[in-house]
Amino acid sequence: MSALRTLDDLLAEGVSGRRVLVRADLNVPLDKQTGAITDDGRIRAVLPTLGALVEAGAKVVVCSHLGRPKGAPDPQFSLGPVAGRLGELLGAPVHFATDTVGDSARSTVAGLADGQVALLENLRFNAGETSKDEAERGAFADHLAAFGDAYVDDAFGAVHRKHASVFDVPARLPHVAGRLVLREVEVLSKLTADPERPYVVVLGGSKVSDKLAVIEALLPTVDRLLIGGGMCFTFLKAQGLEVGTSLLEKDMVETCRNLLERSGGKIMLPVDVVVADAFAPDAAHDTVRVDGIPSHRLGLDVGPETVAGFSAALSQAKTIFWNGPMGVFEMPAFAAGTRGIAEAITKADAFSVVGGGDSAAAVRALRLDETDFNHISTGGGASLEYLEGKTLPGIAALEN
């Protein structure tokens, strides 16, 4: 990759009194009932960039998406609550525009004093943001670009999206990578370039289909690939085991069988799982061997023997990448697998990287010490696509 221009390059030019448009990924999880922010990790992750710009006297215009609204305003996806939290963390009020490129946005941006911060309403309230049509995206990008004299991309979690604010705006403004994007790229490039060995990857989460490309890309590179989470059941099925009513992607069984055959023994699967009567926090549950899953029960976590076996592999590692929970960690009865693996990662004498929204959220929800990991990525899909070696539109746009 060619060298990116960075925030420090922009700061060296002087930004006092200039409007700097910052694309952030403030797509934080919200409580379904109350709408409260349940994990503010992504907000905290952009503070270094925003703080530096504020200090340097820039007029800072922040934009982000939240959730997947369908190109029109949808109150449940408003960034309003995020503006409040961002202001608390910055220690100064954040001026919130109730639209993205309309009257409210224009007057909010025009009213900024040096060193003040504005947040625009959700980018995805506008069809142009995610449009596949270049002209439609371009027209929206023109509006956004009018709010900045320079552009900073600090939305690592969105760099894999060819969206207006990620891909088209940097073509219209002087552009640099923010502190978060730079750190993410530095860390992930260590994993792809020349990882210290053994290099052990732990993958979880619900779907094999989401992880297929990264499994294909990682198999030749890693020394061990440990698979847990909902996706392990499709692999167990591929080994000829019965998985009861566990999550199963029937159309992926053959693919999994093929991967197992080609993996040269690198893939490790669970040997025991926690099965329950229902997908519910208070469901009756037991630990069983993987060849004894009852037909009417479903697996919701990996079992203790699996944790012990995976932990032994992790204890040998010099480099670890972990993406995806081992079980339904949000329910205490099914959190032990994820907690056990997370703890094994922190104990290993290895360079450890946690990738992804869910695994990062799990680290915080289980109240593990974030500083025990070398890096917790803010990107789920983005970090996986980086490891796959794909060209990421947001990074490519910064390189141009």
Binding site for ligand 3PG (CB under 6 A): 25, 27, 68, 157-158, 161, 357, 380-381
| Residue, CB closest to Mg ion | 381
Cβ closer to ligand 3PG: 136 or 149? 136
Q: Which of 18, 42, 211, 297 is catalytic?
A: 42
How far, in Å, CA of 257 to CA of 238, rounded? 5
CA dihedral 167, 169, 174, 177 (to 10 degrees): -50
The pattern of x and - marking residues 242 through 261 that bind Mg ion according to CB under 5 A reads --------------------
| Residue, CB closest to ligand 3PG | 27
Q: Which of 299, 337, 357, 379 is catalytic?
A: 357
How far, in Å, CA of 264 to CA of 257, rounded? 12
Cβ closer to ligand 3PG: 157 or 270? 157
- Backbone φ and ψ for 131, nearest 5 degrees, come out as -60, 145
Orientation angle between helical segments 253-262 and 208-218, nearest 10 degrees: 20
Q: Active site includes 106?
A: no
CB of 82 to ligand 3PG, least distance (A): 12
Give the position of tokens 């976590």. Answer: 301
CB of 357 to ligand 3PG, least distance (A): 5
Q: Active site includes 357?
A: yes
- Let me know if 340 is exposed, middle or buried by CB neighbors in 10 A (0-12, 13-18, 19+): buried
Cβ closer to ligand 3PG: 270 or 381? 381
CA-derived radius of gyration, the chain: 22
Cβ closer to ligand 3PG: 74 or 149? 74
Cα-Cα-Cα-Cα dihedral sign, residues 70, 74, 77, 79: positive
Contact partner, 161, from Mg ion, ligand 3PG, none, Cβ < 5-8 Å per class:
ligand 3PG
Q: Active site includes 207?
A: yes
CB of 180 to ligand 3PG, least distance (A): 13
According to DSSP, residue 36 is labeled -
The pattern of x and - marking residues 364 through 393 that bind Mg ion according to CB under 5 A reads ----------------xx------------
Cα-Cα-Cα-Cα dihedral sign, residues 215, 220, 221, 225: positive
Q: Active site includes 381?
A: yes
Orientation angle between helical segments 336-347 and 304-316, nearest 10 degrees: 20
* Contact residues for 287 (Cβ-Cβ < 8 A; gap 6+): 272, 273, 274, 275, 303, 304
Cβ closer to ligand 3PG: 160 or 179? 160
H or E element that contains 150: strand 150-153
Contact partner, 158, from Mg ion, ligand 3PG, none, Cβ < 5-8 Å per class:
ligand 3PG
By CB under 5 A, what part of segment 36-95 binds Mg ion?
Answer: none
CB of 349 to ligand 3PG, least distance (A): 30
Q: What angle do CA 369, 373, 377 make, to 5 degrees?
A: 105
CB of 42 to Mg ion, least distance (A): 12
Q: Which of 183, 207, 318, 390 is catalytic?
A: 207
CB of 297 to ligand 3PG, least distance (A): 31
Q: Catalytic amino acids?
A: 42, 207, 357, 381
Residues that bind Mg ion (CB under 5 A): 380-381
